Structure 1
């Protein structure tokens, strides 16, 4: 089975001067990337890193992240990537749980990693601009790997307990990279652009690996800022871009003057990570002349599952059909298959499904019944096999015996001209069990009352779906990928 680093070596042989990476004014060719990755792989080998051993990388999105991740794959290590904002205790938990033997951390954010590594007597390599090394001989080429070898260990956010390490194999990574390359019809002439964090499955398995596998170039931005992202897409003449819903929404509200004429090469945008309101898709198309195609995947499915194809075009509200080679089922609480149109839990199967959770056989068995991934998401399939994600199973609000899907309500709220972002949650209620509540941010200068919002919503929603509780905030809490964190919304502490 090809090593995940193999495409870099292959493209460096065939097209050494082709651009691999662009970031903040720097340009790295495939020859540059291979040279640095080979040198860093040699340094890792000199540190005693061998195939199958775990290595923790904590670095922001940038060429240096790509160098170390490529080097780790090249020596056959199990790569673990973690948010640069992780605390010493969070880093320590991952080190203890994974049994990692080495930590690589970006020089500007190495304090937490250094503290956790030092407490455990583990070596720390400080990663600096251009990823220089001072030990070892450059690796001549990637080591051989088996298809079921674990290549990547990504820790879940821990919303339902302590974070679990998701084991993604060499075959998982290869399938996702190749599947998205075909779905997006990527060629070596494409210029991919993203500000997604590379430590997350979407940025790493889909964007980074998919681009390098295709031999295209990847423009990277960190941190995300809407005007800077649009300037990068314009200046680098990007043909494809990827992001999450909060990014598209922020770009729509960018204060610099951009329109479709600034992006003549841009042919499509890919969105994932959370549901994208239809109003945002329509406005983005109108302003920038670019169609946003939604997809669906989880860390446990290597970021893959379904995706709208450019050839068939998007369907409003759908995250597309199953990717070729994958399978989607909708099941009821008893695990029985449901027909098209019925809402139930989404199950995924295919070459992209994780090997399991690291050292957690019971959790693995619970989430992989009969080999299919039990996602925890509610959805339905139409007659043509297009998937519609209704909501997270745990986010479902049951008001007086009626099921209220927050995503449906949020979709309506995003249609209000004064609303920038909205999160709908359930709040305990003595009579109804739960009440529908909305937490909202408004556009600058807008004035909207809860009564006005409810009156507007009643014209568009059944009475039991209308948010009867409303709070306005300056900003909604977001995770490292830009996803709105509903679990961080404590209704009792929000301002009246």
Structure 2
């Protein structure tokens, strides 16, 4: 198949189309950072700070304690923690043993947790004390032998560590954190303290040995474990560094508001940050006011995020009180970035906010707009170094012409090995090295790529194809709209019709008639929403990605209930 890599003509001179990735496993970059910059601050967590030497020492000690519990090369270790020093220590400790990290969302229900633990075959889990009840229930039906428990207060400075239990009790009065140790239940801090300080020696084949099982969102059934190797993760972090070519090793301060248990935060914040010996300013969860205060005080230079994060900050009533000018670059991922949001956020920082694109199966980043060059707004940008992208005509192996919409496929060294224990699912999306993304898009004449929507989110109304993103972009232009998402709902005449779910800005008033007129001025009549629903909030993931599928399910249930009543 002959392909024009026309995007390379749009590359700046500073970015090479091919990079050298070396042969070091992922954990070697922490060893290197500790040796070269032992006294540099690696982590800042709510006032607590840890140097690279301390992070390395604690990761190695914890690794050796895990080894004494039976963790070895190939063992799966579940890490069910919010952003905190323990999450970084547990992650790298597992890798030092040749183990496989199973990133586990702390918001998982008991059912979701059971599925992931059973599917992965994990025998060890590191969790927060608040999650112990859920983990204990899941332990009974899974292979878990060892539960390692930690608390947020374990790495808080005085007096926050003393006050934390009282604050926690006030916020969660019904949650008990009384834990009896023994019988396979261990305290995290004790394991770190008593571990041997000699780095484990494990042979790693970076191209073959897994570093991570990252479970997808499960939008088309039970979540699947994406197998990512050491090479996959090293490659993607180095590609990130090449794209951010004006950043300097050891000088950057990265705001870690994205959760590390999400592949995006894990790669572009944690792994990239440690690889470049940056200071990571860690927040356990995204709270707009806390983020603004943290930026004002800690002066981060890089702020990878998701669109809803930037939206929340822009709509905070005290935004103007805080200085965000330290921020030089933001890459937005996990969901489409509305142009309106991009333009407004760039007015409050000194750098650039660009849209990128990726998926769990690609470690995750494959594309981004130029951070230091001209941007093509509404585009996901150019493929990263060593990354190829193709647009295939619908249900065909034939390449689409520039400007022609088709399914997007990517190929590169960051693409997964496959799905854990699911060869049929793997063969369905990996074809001749190409990863079929399920996203519909097109490439323009200059090699910039545009996503029009998920293949499965396409709305077909009266025979016309409607891409939700196009409608959402228009809704975001309305001055009263804070958040918007569009879905297709059944319609007896058109087959499907467009429904918009909206959250208005605080104090804003807007009627359906006004929005309808606004949309019809900017969209063809068949694309304009026919139905509107105003809400106080929209369902989201921890990263802030709006869960369109939850709204689709809600609508489906309503329809079924209406049919029964009729």
Contact kept, 8 Å, 1:60 with 1:198, in 2: the verdict is: yes
Contact kept, 8 Å, 1:5 with 1:142, in 2: the verdict is: no
1:132 aligns with 2:196: no
1:491 aligns with 2:551: no
Q: How does 1:252-263 map to 2 (within 5 A)?
A: 252-258=314-320, 262-263=323-324
Contact kept, 8 Å, 2:330 with 2:354, in 1: the verdict is: yes
What is the match of residue 54 of structure 1? 76
What is the match of residue 202 of structure 2? 143
Contact kept, 8 Å, 2:25 with 2:231, in 1: the verdict is: no
Contact kept, 8 Å, 1:3 with 1:144, in 2: the verdict is: no
What is the match of residue 300 of structure 1? 361
Contact kept, 8 Å, 1:86 with 1:112, in 2: the verdict is: no
Task: Give the one of 439, 445, 450 matched to 1:388.
Answer: 450
CA–CA distance in 2 between the matches of 1:461 and 1:443?
Answer: 23
What is the match of residue 228 of structure 2? 168
Question: What are the Cα deviations for residues 396-430 of structure 1, in whole angstroms up to 9, with x where unaligned?
Answer: 11111111110001001000000101111101111
**Change in CA separation of 1:493 and 1:418 when aligned onto 2, cut-off 3 Å:** farther
Question: What are the Cα deviations for residues 414-463 of structure 1, in whole angstroms up to 9, with x where unaligned?
Answer: 00000101111101111111101111111122221111110111111111
Secondary structure of 2:303 counterpart: strand
CA–CA distance in 1 between the matches of 2:237 and 2:393?
Answer: 31
Contact kept, 8 Å, 1:45 with 1:136, in 2: the verdict is: no
What is the match of residue 102 of structure 1? 124
TM-score, normalisation: structure 1: 0.96
What is the match of residue 36 of structure 1? 58
Task: Give the one of 399, 404, 411 matched to 2:473.
Answer: 411
CA–CA distance in 2 between the matches of 1:367 and 1:336?
Answer: 16
The size of the alignment, in residue pairs, is 494
Contact kept, 8 Å, 1:173 with 1:352, in 2: the verdict is: yes
What is the match of residue 88 of structure 2? 66
Question: What are the Cα deviations for residues 223-256 of structure 1, in whole angstroms up to 9, with x where unaligned?
Answer: 1011211221221111110110100000001122
CA–CA distance in 1 between the matches of 2:216 and 2:269?
Answer: 19
Secondary structure of 2:403 counterpart: coil
101-110 or 324-333, larger mean C-alpha shift = 101-110
CA–CA distance in 2 between the matches of 1:234 and 1:199?
Answer: 26
Question: What are the Cα deviations for residues 267-308 of structure 1, in whole angstroms up to 9, with x where unaligned?
Answer: 111110010100001111123344211111000000110012
CA–CA distance in 2 between the matches of 1:178 and 1:450?
Answer: 47
CA–CA distance in 2 between the matches of 1:206 and 1:228?
Answer: 21
Q: How does 1:111-126 map to 2 (within 5 A)?
A: 111-120=133-142, 122-126=145-149
Secondary structure of 1:240 counterpart: coil
Contact kept, 8 Å, 2:328 with 2:349, in 1: the verdict is: no
Contact kept, 8 Å, 2:292 with 2:319, in 1: the verdict is: no
1:235 aligns with 2:297: yes
Contact kept, 8 Å, 1:437 with 1:469, in 2: the verdict is: yes
Secondary structure of 2:221 counterpart: coil
What is the match of residue 168 of structure 2? none
Secondary structure of 2:404 counterpart: coil
CA–CA distance in 1 between the matches of 2:375 and 2:334?
Answer: 17
CA RMSD of aligned residues (A): 1.7
CA drift at 1:113: 1.4
CA–CA distance in 2 between the matches of 1:426 and 1:89?
Answer: 28
Secondary structure of 1:459 counterpart: helix
Secondary structure of 1:373 counterpart: strand
**Change in CA separation of 1:96 and 1:69 when aligned onto 2, cut-off 3 Å:** same
Contact kept, 8 Å, 1:206 with 1:303, in 2: the verdict is: no
Contact kept, 8 Å, 2:313 with 2:319, in 1: the verdict is: no
CA drift at 1:141: 4.7
Task: Give the one of 21, 30, 46 matched to 1:24.
Answer: 46
CA drift at 1:492: 6.5
Contact kept, 8 Å, 1:340 with 1:381, in 2: the verdict is: yes
1:459 aligns with 2:481: no
Contact kept, 8 Å, 1:181 with 1:211, in 2: the verdict is: no
Contact kept, 8 Å, 1:297 with 1:306, in 2: the verdict is: yes
CA–CA distance in 2 between the matches of 1:25 and 1:184?
Answer: 28
Question: What are the Cα deviations for residues 194-245 of structure 1, in whole angstroms up to 9, with x where unaligned?
Answer: 2111101001122110111111111111210112112212211111101101
Contact kept, 8 Å, 1:78 with 1:153, in 2: the verdict is: yes
Question: What are the Cα deviations for residues 84-140 of structure 1, in whole angstroms up to 9, with x where unaligned?
Answer: 121222222112111112111122222211221244462211134245234542342
CA drift at 1:19: 1.2
Q: Which has the larger radius of gyration?
A: 2
**Change in CA separation of 1:265 and 1:141 when aligned onto 2, cut-off 3 Å:** farther
Secondary structure of 1:477 counterpart: coil
CA–CA distance in 2 between the matches of 1:78 and 1:287?
Answer: 40
1:153 aligns with 2:175: no
Show structure 1 runs of 5+ residues with no match. none
TM-score, normalisation: structure 2: 0.85
1:359 aligns with 2:421: yes
CA–CA distance in 1 between the matches of 2:426 and 2:309?
Answer: 33
Question: What are the Cα deviations for residues 2-57 of structure 1, in whole angstroms up to 9, with x where unaligned?
Answer: 22111111111111011111111111110110111011101111111001111111
Contact kept, 8 Å, 1:39 with 1:133, in 2: the verdict is: no
Contact kept, 8 Å, 2:329 with 2:352, in 1: the verdict is: yes
Contact kept, 8 Å, 1:338 with 1:344, in 2: the verdict is: yes
Q: How does 1:82-481 map to 2 (within 5 A)?
A: 82-120=104-142, 122-128=145-151, 129-130=154-155, 131-134=188-191, 135-141=194-200, 143-147=202-206, 148-185=208-245, 186=247, 187-258=249-320, 262-333=323-394, 334-481=396-543
Contact kept, 8 Å, 1:150 with 1:169, in 2: the verdict is: yes
